[in-house]
Amino acid sequence: MNPYANLPEGHPVRVYLEENMLIRGLISSINSIDIVENFEEFEEKFKKLCLVEKHFARKENQLFPYLEKYGWTSPSQNMWAFHDDIRAEIKAARALVEEKNMPSLMQQLQRVFGSLEHIMQVEEGRLLPNALSMLDEEDWKEMRSGDEEIGWMFDTPPAAYPAHVEGEYIHPSQDKQKRKLPFSLENRISLEEGYMLPEQINWLLKFMPVDITYVDENDIVIFYNRGDERVFPRSAGIIGREVKFCHPPKSVDQVLMILREFKAGRRDEAEFWITFKGKFIHIRYFAIRDDEGNYKGVIEVSQDVTHIRQLEGQQRLLDWE
């Protein structure tokens, strides 16, 4: 009897099996490539294969604890160690990819492929059938919720589990339905997710409880938000000004070092916190990069976190005074 028959879409076990299909497809595809002649194509597929880490992480942090609850500890003790062996093999392959050491890389890839096939056979022949017989429906529902935090190997998340019922509340992270928009797109700016009018973008930035300054890839200040209660004063004169002239001499060297590290790709974030006029201020710098990883500037984000640092316990109900 097939233990996987009639598994609904999105069920954690079905997702494991679908990932195994993806892994086998990637292995087959890589084996068909001349990696010397088509190195970029190989590298892209190899990076996708390396996402098997998510597959392992879900097993270790999600599935294994549930199996332990029912007294089956062998996967935690034995399969986890095998995961680590494969991680080491993949790490060695990554190093050979960086070196472009093709003869050694081809040998190492076959080790990785063999290890992955072995562990998939153990999953499909023993681990997952036993898990299906041990765990109940509530276990699988709880597990799926945690799986979402770790993620999957796929480009898009698998179907919801349990399936959404018409009219029920759907968490925004799981709402994939494309709707007919109830507003016109005229004069709206198309963003990565959504559409906004220019004045809406301005309002959004103005009312954010943080100071934001954007310096472009040429080190020129191109934007700051004009909240009524800024942490650090700004005036329109800084727009178009080189950023090194916008900081006092005692701190400009640090700013320039941050820019150098961001541009070189060695760092993506810098963080400071200071006491300023009796307030505790959190200051962060973030490198901005396009989809190809090209440096496009930096944003400075400053926030008065005095009140946040004083919070304790929980407040789940609205408490307006």
State the average pLDDT over residues 255-279.
93
> All domains of the chain, ordered by start, with CATH?
12-150 (1.20.120.520), 195-310 (3.30.450.20)
For the chain, give the mean pLDDT: 91
Residue 192 has pLDDT above 90, yes or no: no
Least confident of 130-144, 146-160, 224-238: 224-238
State the average pLDDT over residues 316-321.
80
Q: How many CB atoms lie within 10 A of CB 286?
A: 15
Residue 145 has pLDDT above 70, yes or no: yes
60 CB-near residues (< 8 Å, 6+ apart): 76, 80, 83
What's the pLDDT band for 176 if we cut at 50, 70, 90?
Answer: low
Residue 300 class from Cβ within 10 Å (0-12 exposed, 13-18 middle, 19+ buried)?
buried
What's the pLDDT band for 149 if we cut at 50, 70, 90?
Answer: confident
Task: Give percent of the chain with pLDDT exceeding 90.
Answer: 72
pLDDT tens, residue by residue, 60-109:
999 999 999 999 999 988 999 999 999 999 999 999 999 999 999 999 99
Least confident of 18-32, 166-180, 261-275, 301-315: 166-180
The sign of the CA dihedral 97, 98, 102, 107 is: negative
Which CA distances in Å does 105 have to 26, 35, 100, 109, 320?
16, 10, 8, 6, 63
What's the pLDDT band for 267 if we cut at 50, 70, 90?
Answer: very high
For residue 280, give the H/E element and its range: strand 279-289
Cα Dmax for the chain: 76
Q: Which pLDDT belongs to residue 6?
A: 86
State the average pLDDT over residues 20-48.
95
Q: Which pLDDT belongs to residue 39?
A: 94
